[in-house]
Structure 1
């Protein structure tokens, strides 16, 4: 059996009413919906922070284009040319 933990959070009345309506329409409990929302949030934030870290690592390696290089690339694409590295 997997371990779980109880988390307490305060939400405004409108959010609580919306949550309860959603739970009822999906035939799920409030707790189930909150757990799924937290799982989704944690997954998306983890992926986003990994994406940012990947970009920061690329910058540290010098693997990036300057603004001027990017503008030159875009202009060359419009002319049907490829950038010469």
Structure 2
């Protein structure tokens, strides 16, 4: 089960189309890991969301630093790196 998905969490039906080759890969992975197709797809979506949410949050934090003047010049950064 996905780390963020709880047994009591409301589940909703989602329907979408994927390329046949991708479906085959999902099915093969599900079979190899003795998991359901749903489990494999949920895990893939969870990992995608976690990674991309982190990336967007990190970019926003960097933009906030920029807006608040918390920046270093290239030279200052290189000096810190060398230390």
- Tell me which interval the TM-score lies in, with the shorter structure as reference length: 0.7 to 0.9
1:14-25 to structure 2, matched below 5 A, reads 14-25=21-32
Gaps of 5+ in 1: none
Bigger Rg, which one: 1
Partner of 1:44: 51
Q: Which runs of 5+ in 2 are unaligned?
A: 1-7
Paired residue total: 76
**Residue 57 in structure 1 maps to residue 64 in structure 2:** yes
CA RMSD of aligned residues (A): 2.0
* TM-score (structure 2 length as normaliser): 0.78
Q: 1:40/1:72 Cα in 2 relative to 1: closer, same or farther (>3 Å)?
A: closer
